[in-house]
Amino acid sequence: MGTKVNIIVGSHVWAEEPDVAWVDGEVVKINGEEAEIQVANGKKIVQKLSKLYPKDMEAAAGGVDDMTKLSYLHEPGVLQNLATRYELNEIYTYTGNILIAVNPFQRLQHLYDSHMMQQYKGAPFGELSPHVFAVADVAYRAMIHEGRSNSILVSGESGAGKTETTKMLMQYLAYLGGRAATEGRTVEQQVLESNPVLEAFGNAKTVRNNNSSRFGKFVEIQFDKHGRISGAAVRTYLLERSRVCQISDPERNYHCFYLLCAAPQEELDKYKLEHPRTYHYLNKSNCYDLVGVSDAREYLATRRAMDIVGISTQEQDAIFRVVAAILHIGNIEFAKGKEADSSVLKDDKSKFHLETAAELLMCDPGALTDALCKRVMVTPEEVIKRSLDPYSATISRDGFAKTIYSRLFDWYRIVSFCSLLHIYVTSVQIPLQHRRKIAFIVSTHHYIAGLLIKLIVPSGKMLTLNVLLVSW
């Protein structure tokens, strides 16, 4: 539906244009329900009156920082205001208490340093320029003064910047709620380091984004009655399991596979790994490296983050053994067996990868072969084993790889959470009535995320703030 404002000859309006979404122009003629519009580039277009929107000719040249100040709050007016501010490197804009962020696709370190945090600390909402720190500050102050938990909903399309925005929110809350170190590591340091650890296993390069989260997450930061961070929890949902076996050019599989293939040589020897192009699950795309990113350095950084979070060396080794095993499993190929509809390992190369995967998973090679080449059906009377043809065995192989990666991701997240929870329990004993929390729910689907907040958080117990992200 268009606007109900009376449009006459001489009115300045916005009209739909397939190539650029919206164009502005002046109505030069009206013929019944249609109007002829002279647009800026000299062209004349005809559009239905019901699809025209009035243009504010008195709008500020630099746009407005809160779009409730716009004379006309409609789609073309909102987009024009965001575009105007974006050209001035103003990536944040309010719409009431909702923050809209437009991804700049570049590092703007000056917007997120300690000086900027100090500026927004305790500042009334709307007094300073729009910023993600202002949203976090409102949530924190409301929690402190009103004694209730709060939530921040971060939503946007793929590539809009949800992951980075969540990290900035956590960084600011860690700044506000810092406390003394426990066993050489501060609680907020562990909370922040849990992010890159989770990203290594749940993020991947997509067409639009080099670090796209392929899962939704609910992040909960817990505070004591003095407003200091006491612990954290992360719940994940809807992991993209199919990516483990299926990627398209120029995307990549999950970061952890490439990080492990770039590990020091002694690690590669231990897991019997080579260049990513060697592996079936990685070489379906020609993209193996990210511009400006060293997988070797990221591997070491991930290991350090695991240490800080509290994941033991033995647990780290178990995690990467499973990651390496999945790569080897993907290289197992099958050929037709002697019996009808049966399959066997195709060649010595496949046998090597199967034996290596079995060694890494600490299971019997024969049992692993049976698991891939046979289907087991359990009835009340007996256990029936049915052979699979090569095609079915390949499907079984991929299903097995997706399942163990999904289980690894869930187990890994639980281990990370338990490490944080251990600090929460051992560093300070807080009565239940004194515990407060700020939660983030990060999702591509704003409506679904809102429902999840209602399901996870008891009704009426949280104030919800919204951060909407856009890629321009």
Tens-place pLDDT, residues 326-367: 999 999 999 999 888 899 999 999 999 999 999 999 999 999
158 annotated to a ligand binding site: yes
62 annotated to a ligand binding site: no
159 annotated to a ligand binding site: yes
- Which of 287-296, 307-316, 463-472 is the least confident region? 463-472
Cα dihedral sign, 53-57-62-67 = negative
**pLDDT higher than 80, residue 185:** no
Topology of the domain covering 71-242+423-471? Kinesin (3.40.850)
More confident residue, 331 or 20: 331
**pLDDT higher than 60, residue 1:** no
* Contact between residue 385 and residue 370 where contact means Cβ atoms under 8 Å apart: yes
The per-residue pLDDT for 431 is 43
Average pLDDT over residues 278-290: 97
Whole-angstrom distance, CA of residue 44 vs CA of residue 28: 9
162 annotated to a ligand binding site: yes
Whole-angstrom distance, CA of residue 434 vs CA of residue 451: 27
The per-residue pLDDT for 20 is 87
- What pLDDT, in 10s, does the model give residues 435-444? 567 776 665 5
Average pLDDT over residues 102-116: 90
The reply to whether omega before 380 is within 30° of 0 (cis) is no
- What pLDDT, in 10s, does the model give residues 231-281? 777 778 889 999 999 999 999 999 999 999 999 999 999 999 999 999 999
177 annotated to a ligand binding site: no
Average pLDDT over residues 111-119: 95
The token pair at 15 is: 């009209």
The token pair at 358 is: 């079995």
The class level of CATH for 1-70 reads mainly beta
Whole-angstrom distance, CA of residue 362 vs CA of residue 318: 10
Task: Provide the pLDDT confidence category of residue 228 given band limits of 50, 70 and 90.
Answer: confident
The per-residue pLDDT for 30 is 94
- What pLDDT, in 10s, does the model give residues 383-428? 888 999 999 999 999 999 999 999 999 887 656 555 554 433 333 3
Which residues make Cβ contacts (< 8 Å) with residue 371, sequence separation at least 6? Answer: 396, 400
**pLDDT higher than 80, residue 430:** no
Please name the amino acid found at residue 88: L
Alpha helices in 177-264 (DSSP H): 187-202, 255-261
Task: Provide the pLDDT confidence category of residue 27 given band limits of 50, 70 and 90.
Answer: very high
**pLDDT higher than 90, residue 115:** yes
The per-residue pLDDT for 470 is 63
Q: Please report, rounded to a whole number, the percentage of residues in the chain having pLDDT higher than 90.
A: 59
Can you give the residue ranges of every domain in the chain?
A: 1-70, 71-242+423-471
Q: Show the CA angle centred on residue 323, arms to residues 318 and 327, nearest 5°.
A: 140
Average pLDDT over residues 33-39: 93
Whole-angstrom distance, CA of residue 179 vs CA of residue 246: 44
The DSSP H or E segment spanning 23 is: strand 21-31
Average pLDDT over residues 315-323: 95
Q: Show the CA angle centred on residue 104, arms to residues 248 and 64, nearest 5°.
A: 140
35 annotated to a ligand binding site: no
More confident residue, 59 or 188: 59
Whole-angstrom distance, CA of residue 329 vs CA of residue 332: 5
Topology alike, domains 1-70 and 71-242+423-471: no
Most trustworthy range by pLDDT among 33-37, 182-186, 467-471: 33-37
Mean pLDDT of the chain, nearest integer? 86
Average pLDDT over residues 305-315: 87
Query: Count of alpha carbons within 13 Å of 360, Cβ hemisphere only?
Result: 27
* DSSP letter (8 states) at residue 182: B
Whole-angstrom distance, CA of residue 256 vs CA of residue 299: 8
163 annotated to a ligand binding site: yes
* DSSP letter (8 states) at residue 123: P
CB atoms within 10 A of CB 461: 11
Q: For residue 87, with 0-12 CB atoms within 10 Å meaning exposed, 13-18 middle and 19 or more buried, which class applies? A: exposed
Q: What is the DSSP string of 158-179?
A: TTSSHHHHHHHHHHHHHHHT--
CA nearest neighbour of 229 among 166, 174, 189: 174
The DSSP H or E segment spanning 456 is: helix 446-456
Alpha helices in 26-124 (DSSP H): 75-87, 114-120
The per-residue pLDDT for 101 is 94
What is the number of residues in the chain? Answer: 472
* Contact between residue 50 and residue 2 where contact means Cβ atoms under 8 Å apart: yes
- What pLDDT, in 10s, does the model give residues 159-173? 888 888 988 998 899
